[in-house]
Structure 1
Amino acid sequence: MGRSKLAKFAAIGERDNVIEPGDDLYGQIKGKWGELQFQNNNPILLEVGCGRGEYTVGMARLFPDKNFIGSDIKGARLWKGSTMAEEEELNNVAFLRTFIEQLDDNFAAQEVDEIWVTFPDPRPRDRDIKRRLTSPRFLELYKTILKPEGILHLKTDNLLLYEYTLEVLQERSAHIKDLRCTSDLYKSDLQQHTMGIYTTYERHYIAEGMPIKYLQFKFNLR
């Protein structure tokens, strides 16, 4: 590991807005994010695979009356988002360094109000299908931690992942509701739901003329 990454890992290890394995709160904050991290009962929005946290921080700027958590395993990436939040004194932002598969170690059932999956690795190889963040096993995990009527969003440039997700949702149609989708976000009336936030990668994709795909839905808990 390079010196830069080591320095970033050391930095996030000292920050109150980052929770990672080895911290006192890791695993103990489950069901208590409002109490132990944010000191309020505001709604919680979670971005999974948040990378550098641009979307998490962008949403936090717009909605100071909500709490935002970005989750990723890459500490060097989380450093960027946690730095932005710290410099801007955004007290409604936190980051969780963990594998997505282990989210339920740190979130109780129905603790999260909304989930965002923004530009995840599409995992194009067939052998990696189960690792796609919209595969059935991950959807089951999201369903557990989402509140009733909570919305799950996917934003991606990748047509394969978008179509795969729609196929998975079609197969599970009895378990979802209120699906809305578009293969070209910025030529649709759904762009208002993404709040005008662009990640660095997204700006690059748009500059290359690649349409952004977007969908949202709720789980049917009846």
Structure 2
Amino acid sequence: MRLRNKPWAKDYIDAHPQYIIPTPEKRKGDWKGVFQNDNPIHIEVGTGKGQFLIGMAKQNPHINYIGIEAYQSVIVSALEKLIEEDLPNLKLLDVNAENLTDYFAQDEIDRVYLNFSDPWPKPRHEKRRLTYKTFLEQYEEVLVKNGEIHFKTDNQGLFEYSLQSFSAYGMLLTFVSLDLHKLEDENNIMTEYEEKFSEKGNRIYRCEVQFK
């Protein structure tokens, strides 16, 4: 994916610390304090332009959401949406998910969303896939006991790889759909990529897996 450079992005992000949390490593272990309530916390790794989490936060005001996106030129689009909606149960982090345990304490998160992650199809890039075992180790550490990962993609190869990775890690598969949109689930919040791919007729794959 080629990203359009937005030289103003950093200044825009820095001007809105109430939405994109600065120095999130200092908040480790105190995210319920950030939200000022004891509601469950769900995170999305690779938030992109934010459509999914904006929809989820509006649909579920009793759940706190944190969106993680490493590219400033992308996360500013999510920031613009969040400023417009001003949702108290959604925060954003401008950080790299490779260091997830730097920002969240053990058992601090209730669910992880992985939506349309980069498939990194070349074998030499396997370790970059967000369902590779080293990422699963981090998710397991920050998630509560029996915490879940909800995963969506249009990439069949990544989906098959991820199912194998989850199985090899000893996770429990609790839901799987090989054609999500045939279910006509009115609660399904689509990402920007999901809308784009489904309009082209691409099949959308989804699964829910749980750490034992």
TM bucket, shorter chain:
over 0.9
What one-letter code is carried by the residue in structure 1 that aligns with 2:13?
I
State how far apart, in whole Å, the 2-side matches of 1:42 and 1:74 are.
Answer: 28
What one-letter code is carried by the residue in structure 2 that aligns with 1:5?
K
What one-letter code is carried by the residue in structure 2 that aligns with 1:47?
E
Deviation string 1:95-117 (CA, Å, 9 cap, x unpaired) is 11111111111100010011100
Deviation string 1:24-61 (CA, Å, 9 cap, x unpaired) is x43110010110x2111111010001111111111001
1:85 maps onto 2:77 in alignment: no
For residue 35 of structure 2, what is the aligned residue in structure 1?
Answer: 38
SS at match of 1:28: helix
1:216 maps onto 2:208 in alignment: yes
CA contact (8 A) 2:151 2:208 kept: yes
> 1:76 aligned to 73, 77, 88, which one?
73
For residue 167 of structure 2, what is the aligned residue in structure 1?
Answer: 170
State how far apart, in whole Å, the 2-side matches of 1:183 and 1:61 are.
Answer: 27
State how far apart, in whole Å, the 2-side matches of 1:78 and 1:133 are.
Answer: 18
State how far apart, in whole Å, the 2-side matches of 1:104 and 1:56 are.
Answer: 21
For residue 96 of structure 1, what is the aligned residue in structure 2?
Answer: 93
CA contact (8 A) 1:123 1:131 kept: yes
For residue 147 of structure 1, what is the aligned residue in structure 2?
Answer: 144
Aligned residues: 209
CA contact (8 A) 1:53 1:81 kept: yes
State how far apart, in whole Å, the 2-side matches of 1:49 and 1:214 are.
Answer: 16
SS at match of 1:148: strand
Report the aligned-residue RMSD: 1.8
For residue 178 of structure 2, what is the aligned residue in structure 1?
Answer: 183
SS at match of 1:85: helix
State how far apart, in whole Å, the 1-side matches of 2:90 and 2:210 are.
Answer: 24
Gaps of 5+ in 1: none
CA contact (8 A) 1:82 1:94 kept: no
SS at match of 2:126: helix
Gaps of 5+ in 2: none
SS at match of 1:134: coil
Deviation string 1:66-121 (CA, Å, 9 cap, x unpaired) is 11100011112111112211211211110111111111111000100111000000
> 2:198 aligned to 203, 206, 212, which one?
206
CA contact (8 A) 2:50 2:78 kept: yes
SS at match of 1:27: helix
Distance 1:136 1:185, change over 3 A: same
1:63 maps onto 2:64 in alignment: no
State how far apart, in whole Å, the 2-side matches of 1:188 and 1:168 are.
Answer: 25
What's the TM-score, normalizing by structure 1? Answer: 0.89
What one-letter code is carried by the residue in structure 2 that aligns with 1:10?
D
1:135 maps onto 2:132 in alignment: yes
